[in-house]
Amino acid sequence: IRTLAQLEHAFDLSADEREATGRHTGSLPVGITPYYASLMVRDDPRDPLRRTHIPVGQEYLRTPGESDDPLGEDGHAAVPGLVHRYPDRVLFLATGFCSTYCRYCTRSRMVGEPGGEYSFSYSQWDKALAYIEAHPEIRDVLVSGGDPLTIADDKLDYLLGRLKAIDHVEFVRMGSKVPVVLPQRITRNLIRTLKKHSPLWLSIHFTHPSELSPEVTEACSRLADAGIPLGSQTVLLKGVNDSVDTLKSLFHGLLMRRVRPYYLYQCDPISGSAHFRTPVEKGLEIIRGLRGHTTGYAVPTFVVDAPGGGGKIPLLPDYVAGRDGDDLLLTNYEGRVYRYPDPDGTLGAALAQGRAA
Ligand SMILES: *Cc1c(COP(=O)(O)O)cnc(C)c1O
């Protein structure tokens, strides 16, 4: 579903949605698979999944601190489409195409432009592959985009085969939303292709428990049965999934489908995303509401991807209550304080001093 007419056919659009869609030009086009649209509510613009995919007027507002490339990826590209930010691993943007376009996309500046810089080309892949070959410190390659599972099986086979042939590349992982928005793409032939390139890990972009359909369950089951370890990545979004109950239900559903919650992201300050962003405290409140209250495997790491290219910075609720002499004072998940004997430590000392002062 890519045009206003197609959207009007599938949804009762609000005036705001209609106007915002009509106004749209450039990258981050409107795009929703019919399958994914079928999970959305036809007549309610407040439906969480719908809010993540149908533009609204707020998308055109620019607020302080926002930018088109907040993570500084373009500035850190080793070659076009390859970001070498951490010493031992790289992010390989293999395509600019997605089967759906999330309105809060971190790479909204570059995705969905036919003929754009990130359209598929072997010559671009070759330059990225040559860079990885020339850098023996790279042991982990994260293939993302765009969505790499939109690449045809034979081309994906070629790319994974080339990466696997590099001696120092220990393993490859992919980031994708396809299992959620186009589960029909997880065909037996795709599974055969991916299985050939083991060890291969997959991070799947999940947003909300309403995505956990029978089709998604089947897609996850095929991937997990193929020996592909599955993780999830979720962006914390205001009015969409910003409550303990919603995310707990999502993460429990993922564990049942053999997907381990990996990262919960603070929404990047991408241009026009203010209506999606929560205060950072909200993420901490959610982690506090999960840790200890449910299975440890259901608790992802909450991260802020540092604007300017500092990488992912994990944030945790503060469980250090202070220090009392040789004892470190720690707060448990119920808010009760416990003592841990830590005579040589200094952790919590500043807190204790602050309290004494
Ligand atoms: C997220 C990311 C990675 C992978 O980070 P992990 O914490 O290892 O999952 C690598 N490179 C870039 C540029 C990234 O944004």
Task: Summarize pLDDT for 231-285 with one digit per residue, the tens.
Answer: 999 999 999 999 999 999 999 999 999 999 999 999 999 999 999 999 999 999 9
Point out the residues that are catalytic. Answer: 85-86, 89, 98, 102, 105, 107, 268, 305, 312
Alpha-carbon distance of 87 to 24, in angstroms, equals: 38
Q: Which residue has the tokens 């503060």?
A: 318
147 vs 159: CA distance, rounded Å: 14
Helices (H), 257-321: 280-290
Distance CA 119, CA 113 (A): 7
Would you give the DSSP letter of residue 210? G
**Residue 97: closest CA among 127, 119, 78:** 119
Distance in angstroms (rounded) separating the CA atoms of residues 31 and 203: 21
What is the model's pTM?
A: 0.96
Whether 118 shows a pLDDT value over 70: the answer reads: no
High-pLDDT (> 70) share of the chain, %: 98
The pair of structure tokens assigned to 197 is: 């390139």
Q: Which two tokens stand for residue 118?
A: 């990130």
Q: Identify the pLDDT of residue 148.
A: 97
- Paired tokens of 342: 């830590």
User: Please, are residues 195 and 227 in contact by the beta-carbon 8 Å criterion?
Assistant: yes
Q: What is the pLDDT of residue 107?
A: 92
The confidence score (pLDDT) of residue 75 equals 83
What sign has the CA pseudo-torsion 9, 184, 150, 105?
A: positive
Distance 91 CA to ligand 1 centre (A): 7
Which of 84, 88, 91, 230 to mutate to test ligand 1, by most ligand atoms within 8 A of the CB atom? Answer: 91
Backbone angles phi, psi at 175, to 5 degrees: -115, 130
Q: What pLDDT score was predicted for residue 114? A: 74
* Average pLDDT of every residue of the chain: 95
pLDDT tens for each residue of 319-343: 999 999 999 999 999 999 999 999 9
pLDDT at position 357: 61
What is the residue with the minimal CA distance to atom 1 of ligand 1? Answer: 312
User: How many other C-beta atoms lie within 10 A of the C-beta of residue 73?
Assistant: 20
Q: What is the pLDDT of residue 117?
A: 65
